Amino acid sequence: MSLLVLGLSHRSAPLELLELVALSSERAAQLADTVHRAESVGEAVVVATCNRVEVYADAVTFHGAVSEIGEALSRATSVPMERLREHLYVHYEDRAIAHLFSVACGLDSMAVGEGQILGQLREALRSAQRQQSISSILGDLFQHALRVGKRAHAETEIDRVSGSLIEAGLERAGTTLGPLSQQRVLVVGAGSMSSLAAMTLSRRGARELVILNRTAATAERLATATGGSARPWGALAESLTDADLVISCTGAVGHVIDAASVTAAQTARSGRHQVYVDLALPRDVDPEVGHLAGITLVGLREVGQLLDDSSTAPPVQAVEDLVVGEVGAFLAGRRAKSVAPTVAALRSRAADVVAAELVRLEQRAPSLSEEERAEVQLTVHRVVEKLLHAPSVRMKELAVSGASGDYAQALRDLFDLDPHDVATVSVPPEQGGLA
């Protein structure tokens, strides 16, 4: 079996297509289950965020898995395969591993270095574990990816490369409206991105901060934490009229802010300029709003363009180097783990031989005292352990170097190890929960 990832992101597809393929957590889980049931797939995890949909799989056959995953993605998103095909990418084995690690570090995000992707990967892993579409192969991979992402943020300065989508959106708004300290700001939504926006606005000293969310209690909590005020969802029209800057990220399906509402707000404001920063996908703000007089609409595409200049920064290079090293470490660990059953089977065979010979000794020399019998048993175990030590260590070394295949097979042949026994031997699992 082999690792592969098939998907599309803001790097390969226009935002209009990403909107069409956006999946809720429930639909992403259904897609993972469908892929997991495919004949050419052993395990599956779906990562669905605002700017990517990716299916990670442990493939039984490469071409069969790619075909089945592509068809499942097309059905799940209701987008014809003909339209998806030119925007899809496929990474295989070490390239798939490197891609996931880069994603975990935020290198593949629209806002380079953003940390929210770690939570999204963790949730994708948990979802796959709940529906049992994942086992040790992808489980180990995602656990390692989460650790790599944490290392990137702890050991490099990747966090300061781009700041965040919020910082970029505020930078763009500032060029039109002026200092934030003079602006009335409305945040629509109270999820993770909206909360980050509210925290940033509070820290930057916005003149007035209003939180509006469908769940009033959530809006109240965020308002209390940021020194703002909360309004009920029904006050959207009034809130749009009062706001100079509107930041929206609700995760809703369909436009939350339409052109008619913004036109009415502009009329009530006597045409005073407004900036709308839409960080949602699918989009919260109707694109037609951007064509209205007195309105500047900043979407994910514009924010992405503002962040492009950060891609060559030294911290990015440091994280790229980290990813290269971690890919090598993961591959070495996987190869070492692959020969563990052969080593365990060899030692199990040796233990059986020792046990049988000790039984024969007891039958042939029943007069041995307990002390003598214990000494003989210890001596035999020491001899066997010394004989097995070198081949066991050498096989693991060759596994790490990538040259273990023939050597492992040679051991199986020389010691007459049954392939079925090797495959089913129990190897103690590594301890640890979610990274």
How far is CA 304 from each of CA 109, 124, 203, 311, rounded to the nearest angstrom?
9, 24, 23, 11
Cα separation, 185 vs 199, in Å, equals 12
Q: Would you state the torsion angle of the CA atoms of residues 326, 329, 330, 331, taken in this order, to the nearest 10 degrees? A: 120
* Residue pair 276/303 in contact by the 8 Å Cβ criterion: no
Two structure tokens written together for 24: 């809720």
Cα separation, 322 vs 327, in Å, equals 9
* Residue pair 173/298 in contact by the 8 Å Cβ criterion: yes
Cα separation, 70 vs 350, in Å, equals 48
DSSP letter (8 states) at residue 249: -
Order of strands, sheet of 208-212, starting from the edge strand that comes earlier in the sequence: 229-231, 208-212, 184-188, 245-248, 274-278, 295-298
* Residue pair 67/88 in contact by the 8 Å Cβ criterion: no
Q: How many CA atoms lie within 13 A of 239 on its CB side?
A: 24
User: Which residue is it, tokens 């935002």?
Assistant: 15
Active-site choice (46, 50, 111, 277):
50
DSSP letter (8 states) at residue 396: H
Phi-psi region of 112 (alpha: psi -120 to 50; beta: other; left: phi over 0): beta
Residue 160 neighbours by CB distance under 10 Å: 11
Q: Is 249 a catalytic site residue?
A: no
Residue 209 neighbours by CB distance under 10 Å: 23
Can you give the length of the chain in residues?
Answer: 435
Catalytic residue numbers? 50
